[in-house]
Amino acid sequence: MRRVFNRFSRPESPDLESGLLSLSQPASLNGVYGSSLASTFLRDAVGGADSVDVITIGDSNTGYSYLGAGGGGGGWTRAWLRNMNAFGIQTYSSPLMPVMANSGTTLTVQTVTEESGVITTLAGYFGNVLAPAGNVQRGSTAGPADVTNMAVPATTFLPHALTGFDYCYVAAAATAQTFAQLNGTYPGGAAPSPALPTWNQPGTALRYRVTHVQSSTSGGSLNLTAYRVTSGSYFALATANASTYNAAGYVRTASDMAFTMPSTSPASAILFGWNYIGFATGPAHVLYDCVYKVTKGCAVNQLHYGSGQSSATISGVITGSTASNRTFLRTYFSEIVARQVAAGGSGRVIIWINSGINSAVGGYTFVGYMDAMISTLTAEWSAAGFDSSKLAFVVSATHPLDGYSSATEALLAEDRQWLNSWAPANRNVTALDLSQCLSGPQLTAAGYYTGSGVGESHLTQAGYNAVMSIAVQKLLSKP
């Protein structure tokens, strides 16, 4: 059993003196402390024995410049994917993302982009054509409460620079159509260079997957489609109809459509959707979509990218998400696991939590925030019906600073010490000390900060990659 840390009382171990750590650091393998479960997951994935999904949670460093501006190349989230790929774990799926966010009037769209031979995912708002107008509604404001409780957290998560999780609702007997729900490879009609990696190169069998909630009202259906668009002409790659009826009432399910990646010549855009070209008919409640391959490998999913948020705020987002009878985390975990199992894995997940740069606090309080998040996430994982042996946590405080705000760095150093001593007493939790990957002076010498002064709060894309390369290597080496 994992020992629960109560930030309002002193833990029995490590010994505490005046709020400061009084014990030396526990034994580690160069900055990795605590459980070896995450390391086992990664090693097995490298060897092709199983798959692993990584879920990232944190402040702006978790997804810095995910949409391109700022130079961070997607922060720790993309750095995780790049380096798992680099160590031999191929991508098996694009991220699990909501088809509608909880603000604005448009649906959300994934764009899978080529990047140094590695396919990653970029998200953003794009205007979709609704026909007839208005028939795709925001679920949290127009849909049934039972589905809202399943699909929408009580707090605002910020996945992949979007403004939260919501779902698309199409009322009974209404019809809806969008121009494009999910963009595939070579968006904009430009063929990728260099060539696509193994997981989705031309000729590869893939699946477009839509997570939705069925209901006991009959007559509804989704129209899953994949189209290739070449010089303004549309060519169907695949289509599939999915019923939204279930006599048992509101039941989460997923529908897959198989297709084969076409040739990159001529250059084309590959578009997917659940009401694309053809119409979806209500009642329909659509939560997430993705593209995956039946193979063992990895996927990285960003659950919360809290730009500018403190550890206290991030902890509040996670721990408060279950209020008002909300079971969002159970729904999210269930689909992550179901997708991985459908692709050939056993349902293993690593949750990465990193924070501390904003409104830094001392180690005792920082560990309390981490523990509160882990307690909530573990409880919801168990409530979803999954064994704790399939869930690992890797936690860390922000990368080290080198001259900017010595007071902040002193608190971050304390946070790292507390995490390193706390993790070994907590099952399934690994503390990763980023200061033992690259130090502040090393980050400066390599030009890995985005700038001097406050610029040290973020790293460049090369910086995130370099630190995470060392971190993944350390995790793989931990016995």
Q: How many CA atoms within 13 Å lie on the side-chain side of 145?
A: 2
**Domain shared by 59 and 80, yes or no:** yes
**Predicted pLDDT at 187:** 40
- Identify whether 196 is part of a domain: yes
**Domain shared by 451 and 322, yes or no:** yes
Structural domain count, the chain: 2
Tens of pLDDT along the chain (479 residues) come to: 344 433 323 233 333 222 223 334 444 568 999 999 999 999 999 999 999 999 999 999 998 765 554 555 689 988 998 899 889 998 898 888 888 776 555 555 444 443 433 333 433 323 333 344 457 888 998 999 999 999 999 999 988 767 788 898 999 988 887 655 555 544 444 444 444 456 677 788 989 899 999 999 999 999 998 888 777 788 888 999 999 999 999 999 999 999 988 876 666 667 778 887 778 899 999 999 888 999 999 999 999 999 999 999 999 999 999 999 999 999 999 999 999 999 999 999 999 999 999 999 999 999 999 999 999 999 999 999 999 999 999 999 999 999 999 999 999 999 999 999 999 998 899 999 999 999 999 999 999 999 999 999 999 989 999 999 999 999 999 99
Q: What b/e sequence results for 313-345 when a residue is b if at least 16 CB atoms lie within 10 Å of its CB, and e otherwise?
A: bbbbbbbebbeeebbbbbbbbbbbbbbbeebeb
CA distance 72 to 63: 8
- Identify whether 13 is part of a domain: no
**Domain shared by 327 and 450, yes or no:** yes
Nearest by Cα to 102 from 170, 56, 148:
148
**Predicted pLDDT at 278:** 75
- Identify whether 334 is part of a domain: yes
**Domain shared by 316 and 179, yes or no:** no
**Domain shared by 389 and 304, yes or no:** yes
- Identify whether 15 is part of a domain: no
Paired residues of 288 in beta bridges = 98, 211
User: Which of residues 251, 266, 294 is at a domain's end?
Assistant: 294
**Predicted pLDDT at 103:** 59
| Local structure of 238: helix, strand or coil | strand
**Domain shared by 285 and 299, yes or no:** no
User: Which of residues 294, 328, 359 is at a domain's end?
Assistant: 294
**Domain shared by 193 and 264, yes or no:** yes
**Domain shared by 323 and 231, yes or no:** no
What CATH code is carried by the domain that includes residue 226? 2.60.120
* H helices present in 152-306, as ranges: none
- Identify whether 121 is part of a domain: no
**Domain shared by 318 and 375, yes or no:** yes
Q: Are 351 and 376 in contact (CB under 8 A)?
A: no
DSSP 8-state code for residue 176: E
- Identify whether 45 is part of a domain: yes
- Identify whether 9 is part of a domain: no
Token pair 């009609």 in the structure block, residue: 189
**Predicted pLDDT at 59:** 96
**Pairing assessment for the beta strands 221-230 and 269-273 based on DSSP bridges:** antiparallel
CA distance 398 to 63: 13
Range of the domain at 196: 99-116+126-139+165-294
**Domain shared by 104 and 88, yes or no:** no
Token pair 């997804």 in the structure block, residue: 63
Distances in Å between the alpha carbon of 396 and those of 31, 86, 96? Answer: 10, 22, 23
**Domain shared by 299 and 289, yes or no:** no
Output Rg (C-alpha) for the chain, integer angstroms: 22
Q: Are 9 and 435 in contact (CB under 8 A)?
A: no
User: Which of residues 260, 294, 328 is at a domain's end?
Assistant: 294
- Identify whether 284 is part of a domain: yes
What CATH code is carried by the domain that includes residue 311? 3.40.50.1110
pTM above 0.85, yes or no: yes
**Domain shared by 335 and 299, yes or no:** yes
